[in-house]
Structure 1
Amino acid sequence: MSAASCLLSDDRFLCSICLDVFTDPVSTSCGHNFCKTCITEHWNNNDQYLCPMCKEVFTTRPQLRVNTFISEMVSQFRQSAQQKASSSSSEQQVSKPAEVPCDVCTGPKLKALKSCLVCLASYCETHLEPHLTASGLKRHQLIDPVENLEEWMCPKHDKLLELFCKTDQTCVCVLCPVLDHKMHEFVPLKEEYEEKKAELEKTEAEIGQMIKRRRLKIQEINDSVKLSKADADREIAEGVQVFTSLKESVERSQAELIKTIEENQKKTEKQAEDFIKELEQEISELTKRRTEVEKFSHSEDHVHLLQSVQSLSPAPPTKDWTEVIFRPSHEGTVMRAVAQLEETLSNEMKEVFEAELKRVQQYAVDVTLDPDTANTQLILSDDGKQVNHSDIWSFAADNPKRFSPCVCVLGKQSFSSGRFYFEVQVEGKTKWTLGVARESIDRKGQITRSPQNGYWTIHLRNGYEYFSAAGPDVRLSLKSRPQKVGVFVDYEEGLVSFHDVDAAALIFSFTGCCFTEKLVPFFGPGLNDGGKNSAPLIISPVS
């Protein structure tokens, strides 16, 4: 038989036994041609002498002779095939290290296009052609090129691996179920392949979606970082502007203080200079008079003294300096300057808080009360914007969401990212609690509000005492009683801040919080207290 490298595209020159190009072609009496070795071995292995093509039986072993015509034609086709293979190899791509090479190429190994599971060989475009055209070779099973085709053979029975043992999860040949895998469950290898391939494709798609979601998350994080950078730059710019203004105010007040003290000192020195000048003038005149008096006082002539004393000059006018008090002092100058500075800074800080309030108000959301969470003694308005306490119990059905006995209610809306802001009117109330809480908080029994328990709130007690529920409570010192409270949350920043809307002042802030689940607005109108605290909490539209 010839080597596979001599395969031609015309199946008329192929032996029907070896499916290869004729080698020493011989003809039988029935007119069919075979390789001499192929037909000889065929008859040696069978009891009858029959033609493999037409099945004609010969009584005696036929005398075989070489068909010279076929031999000449085969020789010509061999030469043609070699020339064709040579020209094709120059056009086709030589296999690279990571690619499967053709097993038939004798020169440079070209890239294989398919592997044959029957021949256990891989073929380039040229040497694959017989498998695409020859009727006998078309029945062979072709797959995408793979290396180590011997792995497709059962190492124990030297048969093609055609089945898959689901019991042992391994590839087997047709003999394995009979000999080594009795009573096991088997499916065709291709069926298991298709199933596993579908599973892998599904897994690949799922992984692709996971990668896509993570890439989107990366983009989201990058976008958040950019927004954060923009916010940081804006905050820095505003902070620099504010502190520059405050610094200028302090420097201006300091300069004015120094100027005032220096001017007061100059006035003091001028006043002292005038006093001294006046005193020195009086001293000069008094000295002259004393000299004149002294001259008469030392006279021993009685008559002369008495006659001359009449001509003595009258005493010069003098000031009663005992009534003149000179006590220079700068006491109070610094305190007055500090008081003025404090007033200036207070006005500037108010402008800062007004700007900050306007900034957080842009994140206003529409919040409504959730009746399923309201304590049965709370009365909610039809629009879900107002709540107050009643001494009369309602007959609302209890459920796990409802607060009991705590007289509280949550908002319907929940938030798990970003920023949000809402305002609540508290005018006329002596007790209230406002803020946000984790959605998973316990609604039953006595509640201790603190960040550790999932609450970030502030509250009013006794009409004038304000506290932050920081666990324990921290009393707040406020300049005025808020009539409307704004609540702002920055989820990613971990910030919950409360604002006096009318005074544009910051009441209190929880900072450095770690939020891991949804947050919901929290409202506690407080007990009715015999009508003293009957005013409702009102969720107000943000101006």
Structure 2
Amino acid sequence: MADSGAFLDQDQFSCPICLELLKDPVAIPCGHSYCMGCIKGCWDQDDHTGVYSCPQCRQTFTPRPVLGRNTILAAMVEKLKKMGLQADPPAHCYAGPGDVACDVCSERKHKAIKSCLVCLVSYCETHLQPHYESPPLKKHKLVEATGHLQEKICSRHDKLLEVYCRTDQQCICLLCTMDEHRGHDTVSAVAERTEKQNQLGKTQKKSQQKIQEREKELQDLRQAVDSLTHSAQAAVEDSERIFTEMICSIERRRSEVKELIRDQEKAAVSQAEGLLMRLEQEIAELRRRDAELEQLSHTEDHIHFLQSCNYLCAPPGPGDLPSITFKQHFSFDAVRKSVSELKVRLEDVCKVEMAKISSLGSGGDISGSLAKTGGSSGGGATAAEKQSCPICMKSIKKKQRLMRLCYEPSYLKRLIDALRAKGIE
């Protein structure tokens, strides 16, 4: 005897709504069978109209049919289950965290792949098949599976939100247009979407234009910062070079002043040594004459005394003993004073110029400073830009280098000449 399972087709015992083996199968007046839970859920959505239809043949019933369990069909389904004709789906078909679950699956939920905006139900691949095969269901609008279907339903009439009320700026259903939104300015959601899409496009275009403007400003600001960095580095290098030159120049002038003092010292000492030698010679000559006078005073030869006395007692002639003069209080106090004054003046100049440099470095914010790439002020120098050099007392301008005039070799030469004029012959 052949196995009776060979003559049983699982599709004949599947619910057209959930596409699984029938659970508590019921037959409705048109003859189609469904799971009791599936058909009750479907008809619950039609309670407000009072008209109920078969999801397959679309035959309508009024009033709502009373459902009773088909015991014969239920027994056959149980037999199919025992025969193992129903295979378990792969694990990846089940809904996990973040997935939209199929609303039809009664036990372990499968992942939904589409949501029906007419049925307001999300379907897995298996339960979606009637929407592809049944002519009435083919007319339903399917969208990608979404877990926010309730947001698309009117809370008052449990109907799909497919109309937009411009008066109240909200989405409504068709029944709302005949109720509290009667007489309002209403359009289809599709039409309003088209208009809003155009507005969105314009807004997006303005936003993109603003982004481009800001990116241009960002690029300009970065370039300005780079330019500022390069300019600062160049200023540091120039300052280092200028200060090095100044230090070298001061070192040279120090050596020149030192050499000048030593030369004056050498000349004065040489002069003094010459005078010392002459004085020693004069003293030696005077001592010799004094010795001769002493010897003559004790001689007993009167003739010799008389003959030598006139010669030895006569004062020396003007050419014999020259006049010797020398500055007894010679010193370098004037030199030390001049050098000290030079130090004070240098410090004053440095203070003045450093104040200028500090004011140039701290003036204005970066947004204003970076925006200016150059330019010169019109007209002559202002009173603030003009001042006198604390060394030479001559008028200098803002753009002149620090101590450029007063520390030229020509000026230092004049300074040395002035030092010489203060006491050094």
Normalising by structure 2, what TM-score? 0.59
Equivalences for residues 149-168 of structure 1 within 5 A: 149-168=149-168
Secondary structure at the aligned position of 2:174 is classed as coil
**1:136 aligns to what?**
136
**1:457 aligns to what?**
378
1 CA distance for matches of 2:119 and 2:304?
Answer: 171
Equivalences for residues 10-409 of structure 1 within 5 A: 24=25, 33-35=31-33, 53=57, 83=87, 86-87=89-90, 90-92=91-93, 94-97=95-98, 99-105=99-105, 111-297=111-297, 305-309=305-309, 312=312, 318-321=320-323
- Following superposition, the deviation at residue 248 of structure 1 comes to 0.8
Given that 2:117 and 2:140 are in contact with CA atoms closer than 8 Å, whether structure 1 keeps it comes out as yes
Q: CA 1:94–1:155 in 2, change beyond 3 Å: closer, same or farther?
A: closer
Q: CA 1:326–1:191 in 2, change beyond 3 Å: closer, same or farther?
A: same
Greater fraction strand: 1
- Following superposition, the deviation at residue 232 of structure 1 comes to 1.6
Equivalences for residues 413-424 of structure 1 within 5 A: 419=373
1 CA distance for matches of 2:190 and 2:81?
Answer: 38
- Deviation per residue, 1:390-443 (Å, 9 max, x gap): xxxxxxxxxxxxxxxxxxxxxxxxxx956366xxxxxxxxxxxxx6xxxxxxxx
Aligned-partner residue type, residue 175 of structure 1: L
1 CA distance for matches of 2:276 and 2:72?
Answer: 156
Aligned-partner residue type, residue 419 of structure 1: T
In the alignment, structure 2 segments of 5+ residues that lack a partner are: 1-9, 61-67, 347-369, 389-395, 400-425
Q: CA 1:418–1:94 in 2, change beyond 3 Å: closer, same or farther?
A: farther
Given that 1:27 and 1:65 are in contact with CA atoms closer than 8 Å, whether structure 2 keeps it comes out as no
Given that 2:163 and 2:189 are in contact with CA atoms closer than 8 Å, whether structure 1 keeps it comes out as yes
1 CA distance for matches of 2:218 and 2:311?
Answer: 115
2 CA distance for matches of 1:220 and 1:252?
Answer: 47
- Following superposition, the deviation at residue 196 of structure 1 comes to 2.9
**2:355 aligns to what?**
none
Given that 1:24 and 1:71 are in contact with CA atoms closer than 8 Å, whether structure 2 keeps it comes out as no
2 CA distance for matches of 1:135 and 1:282?
Answer: 152
Given that 2:13 and 2:77 are in contact with CA atoms closer than 8 Å, whether structure 1 keeps it comes out as no
- Following superposition, the deviation at residue 477 of structure 1 comes to 8.2
Q: How many residues are treated as equivalent by the alignment?
A: 331
2 CA distance for matches of 1:274 and 1:157?
Answer: 133
Secondary structure at the aligned position of 1:321 is classed as coil
Bigger relative contact order, structure 1 or 2, given CA contacts below 8 A and separation 6+? 1
The share of aligned pairs that are identical, in percent, is: 29
Given that 1:25 and 1:71 are in contact with CA atoms closer than 8 Å, whether structure 2 keeps it comes out as no
In the alignment, structure 1 segments of 5+ residues that lack a partner are: 1-8, 57-63, 343-415, 422-434, 436-455, 459-466, 479-505, 510-543
- Following superposition, the deviation at residue 303 of structure 1 comes to 5.2
RMSD: 5.1
Q: CA 1:66–1:101 in 2, change beyond 3 Å: closer, same or farther?
A: closer
**2:365 aligns to what?**
none
- Following superposition, the deviation at residue 185 of structure 1 comes to 0.6
- Following superposition, the deviation at residue 278 of structure 1 comes to 1.8
Q: CA 1:148–1:320 in 2, change beyond 3 Å: closer, same or farther?
A: same
2 CA distance for matches of 1:78 and 1:197?
Answer: 56
2 CA distance for matches of 1:325 and 1:311?
Answer: 35
- Following superposition, the deviation at residue 53 of structure 1 comes to 4.8
Secondary structure at the aligned position of 1:168 is classed as coil
Given that 1:26 and 1:67 are in contact with CA atoms closer than 8 Å, whether structure 2 keeps it comes out as no
Secondary structure at the aligned position of 1:159 is classed as coil
2 CA distance for matches of 1:27 and 1:151?
Answer: 32
Greater fraction helix: 2
Aligned-partner residue type, residue 282 of structure 2: E
Secondary structure at the aligned position of 1:184 is classed as coil
Q: CA 1:303–1:93 in 2, change beyond 3 Å: closer, same or farther?
A: farther
2 CA distance for matches of 1:93 and 1:263?
Answer: 108
- Following superposition, the deviation at residue 319 of structure 1 comes to 3.9
**1:432 aligns to what?**
none
